[in-house]
Amino acid sequence: MTTSNLHPGPNLGDHHGEAHYGAEAIVFGFWVFLMSDLVIFGLVFASYLTVANQMGMAGGPGPAEAFDLRSVFVQTMILLTSSLTFGFATLAMRCNHGRAAIARWLAVSLLLGIGFLTLELRDFAHMIDVGAVPQRSGFWSAFWGLVPLHGVHVASGCLWIGVMLAQMAVLGMIPAVKTRILRLGLFWHFLDLIWVAIFSIVYLGGLMP
Protein backbone atom coordinates (compact mmCIF):
# COMPACT_ATOMS: atom_id res chain seq x y z
CA MET A 1 0.00 0.00 0.00
CA THR A 2 1.53 3.29 -1.04
CA THR A 3 0.66 6.66 0.38
CA SER A 4 -0.73 7.73 -2.97
CA ASN A 5 -3.74 5.45 -2.48
CA LEU A 6 -6.28 8.07 -1.55
CA HIS A 7 -9.40 5.92 -1.81
CA PRO A 8 -10.24 2.24 -2.26
CA GLY A 9 -9.99 0.83 -5.77
CA PRO A 10 -7.99 2.12 -8.74
CA ASN A 11 -6.27 5.44 -8.06
CA LEU A 12 -5.06 7.82 -10.73
CA GLY A 13 -1.57 8.24 -9.25
CA ASP A 14 0.62 11.18 -8.36
CA HIS A 15 1.47 11.97 -11.95
CA HIS A 16 -2.13 13.09 -12.49
CA GLY A 17 -1.54 15.88 -9.99
CA GLU A 18 -4.66 17.81 -9.18
CA ALA A 19 -6.98 15.14 -10.58
CA HIS A 20 -5.41 12.52 -8.32
CA TYR A 21 -5.69 14.52 -5.12
CA GLY A 22 -9.07 15.99 -6.02
CA ALA A 23 -10.46 12.48 -6.41
CA GLU A 24 -10.10 11.65 -2.72
CA ALA A 25 -13.41 12.82 -1.28
CA ILE A 26 -15.38 12.42 -4.51
CA VAL A 27 -14.50 8.79 -5.16
CA PHE A 28 -14.78 7.91 -1.49
CA GLY A 29 -18.28 9.41 -1.54
CA PHE A 30 -19.14 7.22 -4.50
CA TRP A 31 -18.06 4.14 -2.57
CA VAL A 32 -20.48 5.16 0.16
CA PHE A 33 -23.22 5.54 -2.45
CA LEU A 34 -22.44 2.07 -3.80
CA MET A 35 -22.79 0.65 -0.30
CA SER A 36 -26.22 2.21 -0.13
CA ASP A 37 -27.11 0.77 -3.54
CA LEU A 38 -25.83 -2.61 -2.39
CA VAL A 39 -28.32 -2.50 0.46
CA ILE A 40 -31.09 -1.95 -2.09
CA PHE A 41 -30.01 -4.97 -4.12
CA GLY A 42 -29.57 -7.06 -0.98
CA LEU A 43 -33.13 -6.34 0.09
CA VAL A 44 -34.57 -7.04 -3.34
CA PHE A 45 -32.66 -10.34 -3.37
CA ALA A 46 -34.03 -11.16 0.08
CA SER A 47 -37.57 -10.39 -1.06
CA TYR A 48 -37.05 -12.61 -4.09
CA LEU A 49 -35.82 -15.52 -1.99
CA THR A 50 -38.83 -15.36 0.34
CA VAL A 51 -41.20 -15.98 -2.58
CA ALA A 52 -39.04 -18.32 -4.66
CA ASN A 53 -41.19 -21.31 -3.72
CA GLN A 54 -44.41 -23.04 -4.73
CA MET A 55 -46.56 -20.72 -2.66
CA GLY A 56 -44.98 -17.64 -4.18
CA MET A 57 -45.54 -19.02 -7.68
CA ALA A 58 -49.27 -19.38 -6.96
CA GLY A 59 -49.79 -22.10 -9.58
CA GLY A 60 -48.19 -20.04 -12.33
CA PRO A 61 -45.15 -20.92 -14.41
CA GLY A 62 -41.88 -21.56 -12.59
CA PRO A 63 -38.26 -20.89 -13.55
CA ALA A 64 -38.00 -24.08 -15.63
CA GLU A 65 -40.70 -22.88 -18.03
CA ALA A 66 -39.30 -19.38 -18.46
CA PHE A 67 -35.50 -19.30 -18.07
CA ASP A 68 -33.15 -19.89 -20.98
CA LEU A 69 -29.84 -20.71 -19.34
CA ARG A 70 -27.86 -20.59 -22.58
CA SER A 71 -28.88 -17.05 -23.28
CA VAL A 72 -28.20 -16.03 -19.70
CA PHE A 73 -24.76 -17.63 -19.86
CA VAL A 74 -23.94 -15.62 -22.98
CA GLN A 75 -25.14 -12.46 -21.21
CA THR A 76 -22.90 -13.27 -18.29
CA MET A 77 -19.87 -13.67 -20.54
CA ILE A 78 -20.64 -10.41 -22.33
CA LEU A 79 -21.00 -8.50 -19.09
CA LEU A 80 -17.85 -9.95 -17.56
CA THR A 81 -15.93 -9.08 -20.72
CA SER A 82 -17.26 -5.53 -20.56
CA SER A 83 -15.85 -5.24 -17.05
CA LEU A 84 -12.47 -6.36 -18.42
CA THR A 85 -12.59 -3.80 -21.21
CA PHE A 86 -13.59 -1.11 -18.74
CA GLY A 87 -10.58 -2.10 -16.69
CA PHE A 88 -8.45 -1.48 -19.80
CA ALA A 89 -10.02 1.97 -20.14
CA THR A 90 -9.14 2.79 -16.52
CA LEU A 91 -5.59 1.54 -17.00
CA ALA A 92 -5.22 3.54 -20.20
CA MET A 93 -6.30 6.62 -18.26
CA ARG A 94 -4.03 5.87 -15.32
CA CYS A 95 -1.00 5.35 -17.61
CA ASN A 96 -1.76 8.44 -19.72
CA HIS A 97 -2.25 6.47 -22.94
CA GLY A 98 -4.23 9.32 -24.39
CA ARG A 99 -7.82 10.14 -25.09
CA ALA A 100 -8.21 7.89 -28.12
CA ALA A 101 -7.18 4.75 -26.24
CA ILE A 102 -9.50 5.50 -23.35
CA ALA A 103 -12.38 6.31 -25.68
CA ARG A 104 -11.81 3.10 -27.65
CA TRP A 105 -12.07 0.88 -24.55
CA LEU A 106 -15.04 2.83 -23.26
CA ALA A 107 -16.80 2.39 -26.60
CA VAL A 108 -16.14 -1.36 -26.53
CA SER A 109 -17.60 -1.53 -23.03
CA LEU A 110 -20.62 0.44 -24.18
CA LEU A 111 -21.24 -1.91 -27.10
CA LEU A 112 -20.96 -4.92 -24.82
CA GLY A 113 -23.37 -3.27 -22.38
CA ILE A 114 -25.86 -2.68 -25.17
CA GLY A 115 -25.38 -6.26 -26.33
CA PHE A 116 -26.13 -7.51 -22.84
CA LEU A 117 -29.29 -5.41 -22.64
CA THR A 118 -30.45 -6.62 -26.06
CA LEU A 119 -30.14 -10.26 -25.07
CA GLU A 120 -31.79 -9.55 -21.74
CA LEU A 121 -34.74 -7.87 -23.42
CA ARG A 122 -35.08 -10.87 -25.74
CA ASP A 123 -35.21 -13.11 -22.67
CA PHE A 124 -37.82 -10.90 -21.10
CA ALA A 125 -39.94 -11.10 -24.25
CA HIS A 126 -39.73 -14.88 -24.07
CA MET A 127 -40.86 -14.80 -20.44
CA ILE A 128 -43.83 -12.65 -21.34
CA ASP A 129 -44.70 -15.15 -24.08
CA VAL A 130 -44.88 -18.05 -21.63
CA GLY A 131 -46.97 -16.06 -19.17
CA ALA A 132 -44.19 -15.35 -16.68
CA VAL A 133 -45.35 -11.76 -16.23
CA PRO A 134 -45.07 -9.82 -12.97
CA GLN A 135 -48.86 -9.73 -12.66
CA ARG A 136 -49.00 -13.51 -12.62
CA SER A 137 -47.61 -14.21 -9.13
CA GLY A 138 -45.58 -12.93 -6.22
CA PHE A 139 -42.63 -14.93 -7.51
CA TRP A 140 -42.67 -13.23 -10.90
CA SER A 141 -43.24 -9.83 -9.28
CA ALA A 142 -40.07 -10.38 -7.26
CA PHE A 143 -38.17 -11.57 -10.34
CA TRP A 144 -39.31 -8.53 -12.34
CA GLY A 145 -38.42 -6.33 -9.40
CA LEU A 146 -34.88 -7.71 -9.21
CA VAL A 147 -33.49 -8.52 -12.65
CA PRO A 148 -34.78 -5.45 -14.52
CA LEU A 149 -33.55 -3.30 -11.63
CA HIS A 150 -30.09 -4.49 -12.58
CA GLY A 151 -30.96 -3.89 -16.22
CA VAL A 152 -31.97 -0.30 -15.48
CA HIS A 153 -28.64 0.15 -13.73
CA VAL A 154 -26.81 -1.17 -16.79
CA ALA A 155 -28.84 1.14 -19.02
CA SER A 156 -27.90 4.08 -16.78
CA GLY A 157 -24.29 2.98 -17.02
CA CYS A 158 -24.55 2.95 -20.82
CA LEU A 159 -26.04 6.45 -20.79
CA TRP A 160 -23.23 7.52 -18.48
CA ILE A 161 -20.58 6.08 -20.83
CA GLY A 162 -22.19 8.02 -23.67
CA VAL A 163 -22.08 11.21 -21.64
CA MET A 164 -18.44 10.59 -20.76
CA LEU A 165 -17.51 10.03 -24.40
CA ALA A 166 -19.18 13.34 -25.21
CA GLN A 167 -17.41 15.09 -22.35
CA MET A 168 -14.04 13.70 -23.38
CA ALA A 169 -14.64 15.11 -26.84
CA VAL A 170 -15.95 18.49 -25.65
CA LEU A 171 -13.96 19.12 -22.48
CA GLY A 172 -10.89 16.94 -22.95
CA MET A 173 -9.31 14.91 -20.15
CA ILE A 174 -9.78 17.54 -17.47
CA PRO A 175 -9.65 16.42 -13.81
CA ALA A 176 -13.45 16.37 -13.50
CA VAL A 177 -13.73 14.00 -16.45
CA LYS A 178 -11.05 11.73 -15.03
CA THR A 179 -12.73 11.37 -11.66
CA ARG A 180 -16.07 10.74 -13.36
CA ILE A 181 -14.55 7.89 -15.35
CA LEU A 182 -13.10 6.50 -12.13
CA ARG A 183 -16.54 6.53 -10.54
CA LEU A 184 -18.20 5.11 -13.63
CA GLY A 185 -15.67 2.29 -13.50
CA LEU A 186 -16.63 1.48 -9.91
CA PHE A 187 -20.29 1.52 -10.94
CA TRP A 188 -19.68 -0.76 -13.90
CA HIS A 189 -17.74 -3.34 -11.90
CA PHE A 190 -20.35 -3.15 -9.15
CA LEU A 191 -23.03 -4.11 -11.68
CA ASP A 192 -20.93 -7.08 -12.67
CA LEU A 193 -20.82 -8.17 -9.08
CA ILE A 194 -24.60 -7.90 -8.78
CA TRP A 195 -25.00 -9.87 -11.98
CA VAL A 196 -22.86 -12.69 -10.66
CA ALA A 197 -25.26 -12.90 -7.73
CA ILE A 198 -28.28 -12.82 -10.05
CA PHE A 199 -26.80 -15.53 -12.26
CA SER A 200 -25.99 -17.75 -9.29
CA ILE A 201 -29.04 -17.20 -7.14
CA VAL A 202 -31.83 -16.50 -9.60
CA TYR A 203 -30.88 -18.46 -12.71
CA LEU A 204 -28.72 -21.33 -11.46
CA GLY A 205 -30.62 -21.49 -8.18
CA GLY A 206 -33.96 -21.40 -9.96
CA LEU A 207 -33.06 -24.19 -12.38
CA MET A 208 -31.55 -26.46 -9.76
CA PRO A 209 -33.63 -29.63 -9.43
Partner 1 sequence: MTDTLFGRLDLSSLSLWHAIQTPTPSELIAAGAAMAVILGGFGVLALLTWFRLWGPLWRNWLTSVDHKRIGIMYCALALIMLARGVIEGVLMRSQQAFGLHGGFLTPEHFSQLFSTHGTIMIFFVAMPFIAGVINYVMPLQIGARDMAFPVMNQISLGLTATGAALVMISLVLGQFSTGGWANYPPYTGADFQPGPGPDYWIWSIVLAGIGTTLSGINFAVTIYKERAPGMQFLRMPIFCWTVICTSIIMVFALPPLTVAALMLAADRYLDFHFFTNDLGGNMMNYVNLFWLFGHPEVYLLVIPCYGIFSEVIPTFSGKRIYGYMSMVYATMSIAVLSFCVWLHHFFTMGQSANINAAFGIASMAIAVPTGVKTYNWLATLFRGRVRMTVPMIYAIGFFYLFVIGGLTGVMLANPVISYQVHNTLFLVAHFHNVIIPGVLFGLLAGYHFWFPKAFGFRLDERWGRAAACLWIAGFSFTFLPLYWLGLQGMPRRSATFSDPAFQPVMWLALFGAALILAALTCLAVQLWVSIRNRDHLAVPLGDPWNGRALEWSIPSPPPAYNFAVLPQVAARDDFAMAKADGRTFAEPDAYEDIEMPDNTAIGMIVCVCATLMGLALVFWIWWLAVLSFAVMLVALIGRTFRVVTTHVIPAAEIAAAHRAWLARVQAAPAVSRRDETRERNRGRAMLERPTTPEAAE
Q: Which residues bind partner 1 (CB under 8 A)?
A: 24-26, 28-29, 32-33, 35-37, 39-40, 43-44, 47, 50-51, 55-58, 60, 134-142, 144-145, 163, 167, 170-171, 174, 176, 180
Whole-number Cα distances in Å, 118 to 10, 53, 111, 123, 199: 30, 29, 10, 9, 17
Measured from the Cβ of residue 183, the count of other Cβ atoms closer than 10 Å reads: 21
CB of 177 to partner 1, least distance (A): 9
Q: Nearer to partner 1 by C-beta: 60 or 113?
A: 60
Q: Nearer to partner 1 by C-beta: 69 or 174?
A: 174
Q: Nearer to partner 1 by C-beta: 47 or 81?
A: 47
CB of 57 to partner 1, least distance (A): 6
Gap between the Cα atoms of 201 and 70, Å rounded: 16
Cβ atoms of residues 61 and 126 within 8 Å: no
CB of 50 to partner 1, least distance (A): 6
Gap between the Cα atoms of 177 and 184, Å rounded: 10
